[in-house]
Amino acid sequence: MPPLVGDTVTLRIESIVFGGAGLARLEDGRVMFVLYGAPGELVEATVETVHKDYLEGAVSRVVEASPDRVEPACPLFGECGGCQLQHMSYPAQLVAKEAIVREQLRRIARIEDPPMRPIAGAANPWAYRNHLRFSTGRMYGDIGFIHRRGRGLLKVENCPIADPWANDLLPKLQGKGAGLHQIQMRHNADTGSYLIAPRIRDLDLVLDTGQKEYRERLAGKDFAVSASAFFQVNSAQADEMVRLVGEALPESGDVLVDAFAGVGTFAVLFAHRFRRVIAIEESASATKDAEENVRQAPNVEVLAGKVEDLLPELIARPDAVLLDPPRPGCAPAVLTAIIEFKPKVLVYVSCNPATLARDIRTLCDGGYRLDSVTPVDMFPQTGHIECVTKLSLATET
């Protein structure tokens, strides 16, 4: 009889997939994605969800442990959904993430031997997260994270991947969340600037809250970031990403298009290499921030709107295009416009190796050559992966 929700099955973990679960196979051939296993381990797993073609679950007991298994640093690991890989040593996490990117490029992009560079691991895989969003207990004001399966609030005293500044503040904020839905905390250690939103009205809290924006520092430049705007959560690895993007972009050129420009970081940081930079961003709050930030670079023009709408309408032919889309990747109209414009260099920053591989296939079919893919571990202890990819026009027309 096929396993049902709540049943325990014994499985061998084959590999780690994007998102951090282990891939295993049932006796009937169906795949089961198992949280908290390591490659090679024999485990007992509890079935949590049954789909038509696959199952999901979590390790309940390790029968044969991997030599890469370590004791998780967080007492809430396994209940909190923020981390998926604390049970694996950091070198093993990096190996697993490299393998995920390589497998996606082989399977989806259909590139048998992808030109991958070694993963850019973090010097410190802990205490890095500079942006946290806490849920609150509306009655008593407790602050924490929601259980990974939605089973209520997990009160948090300390988060091992959080910026130490945030952990120092947690005791002061506990009990102050009554009546609020969430509390957002953002901080940059270099500038000392921070944001705690929304405003917490408590006479005993000697701390400014309710800021509309704060200042981030990236590659030596400061950027205004609104409460609702996106910015990378790992400052040290964001600097490394900038370095890798800089290696991939041309040293000089006429026009750079920074698609999905966010608050304008890449546009500002690489404006000195180009006569003109066109930054395209859809988010209203990020566009507002970008317009303020590009005052540092007068040759940058910010266009507000969807990339798939604005990119095909550009008159200027770009020498290079920098893509940094959200997780779903690029809309077909974006890739079609790029293929028609034929910029010599594309730099694609991705947070989803599957949609990256899909878009690489389209671009290669449209006349581009994949030069390099560098995974970047922006989120240690989790199943998330960033990549910096360079493509070049294969033939000049």
Omega into 118 within 30° of 0, i.e. cis?
no
Which residue type, as a one-letter code, is found at position 85? L
Residue written as token pair 């089961």: 32
**Residue 182 main-chain phi, psi, to 5 deg:** -145, 160
Instruction: Compute the CA torsion angle 172, 176, 181, 184 (nearest 10 deg).
Output: -20
Confidence (pTM): 0.95
Which of 161, 120, 148, 234 has its CA nearest to residue 381?
A: 161
Give the separation between CA 377 and CA 384, rounded to whole angstroms.
Answer: 8
Per-residue model confidence (pLDDT) at position 396: 57
Give the separation between CA 307 and CA 130, rounded to whole angstroms.
Answer: 28
- Please, what CATH class does the domain formed by 131-226 belong to? mainly beta
- Compute the residue count for the chain: 397
Q: Which residues are catalytic, by number? A: 351
Q: Which residues of 93-122 are buried (b: 16+ CB within 10 A; e: fewer)?
A: bbbbbbbbbbbbbeebbebeebebeebbbb
Each domain of the chain, given as residue ranges in start order, spans 8-69, 95-123+232-393, 131-226
Per-residue model confidence (pLDDT) at position 397: 45
Identical fold at 8-69 and 95-123+232-393? no
- Please, what CATH class does the domain formed by 95-123+232-393 belong to? alpha beta
Number of Cβ within a 10 Å radius of residue 394? 11
CA distances (Å), 196 to each of 158, 163, 235, 252, in order? 17, 14, 18, 40
Average pLDDT of adjacent 10-residue blocks, the chain of 397 residues: 93 98 96 98 98 97 98 97 98 99 98 98 98 87 92 92 95 87 94 92 74 95 95 96 98 98 98 98 97 98 97 93 98 97 98 98 98 99 98 80
Tokens linked to 123:
């010097």
CATH architecture classification, 8-69: Beta Barrel (2.40)
List all residues 6 or more positions away from 303 whose beta carbon is below 8 Å from its beta carbon. Answer: 278, 279, 280, 281, 310
Give the separation between CA 261 and CA 197, rounded to whole angstroms.
Answer: 24
